[in-house]
Amino acid sequence: MKDRKKNAELDQATLRLIVATFAISYVSLIGLLPGLKVATYQPIIFYYAGFLVVSLVLRQHIISYPGVFALRRVFGMVHDYTAISVGLIVGGEATLPVFSVMVWVTLGNGMRFGSRYLAIAASLALLAILVIYQLTPYWQAQPFMVLMLVAVTILVPGYAHILLVRAREASEQATVARAVSGSGQP
């Protein structure tokens, strides 16, 4: 069985393609809803199509050059958060469900790559929310919603970090216990 850590970045890249495909589908469909215009969401669709191309190139790079490349991981995060930001800036309230991907990306980086990457991802997510707020009159007019997005972006990864630390400590204790019981010591 392959080492899970070895495949974590490839798993993230594959999932990125799947989620981006769903995001394109969602954004394409919301333009068809009553009172909304497809033209409003076309820039997001075009951006997300380009996002898919870059994501395919990134995935191929991961396959061609396996191993841990911190810069590549951070690039993936910036790539993800930029796409999410474009959706929220251009799409406004109708694209709010795209925010769930921001939380998912943040947690995914932490669960796959550890607490350090969780902190980097959460920081980038907060920066993205700040940029979204600064660039969009719609979000500026929704300060409590933005505050809720900030709270979720801080609290959920913070709790995930606590769980990661506890899981790592439990794993280390189990390893020590197995070593002690295997050595015949009381």
| Closest by Cα among 143, 25, 9 to 75 | 9
Reported as a single tens digit per residue, the pLDDT across 113-166 is: 999 999 999 999 999 999 999 999 999 999 999 999 999 999 999 999 999 889
pLDDT band at 179 (very low <50, low <70, confident <90, very high): confident
Taken in order 30, 31, 37, 42, the sign of the CA dihedral is positive
Reported as a single tens digit per residue, the pLDDT across 127-142 is: 999 999 999 999 999 9
| Burial category of 52 from C-beta neighbours within 10 Å (exposed 0-12, middle 13-18, buried 19 and up) | middle
Reported as a single tens digit per residue, the pLDDT across 18-35 is: 999 999 999 999 999 999
Q: What is the CA radius of gyration of the chain?
A: 20
Residue 185: its pLDDT value, please?
61
Enumerate the domain spans of the chain.
4-183
- The model's pTM is 0.87
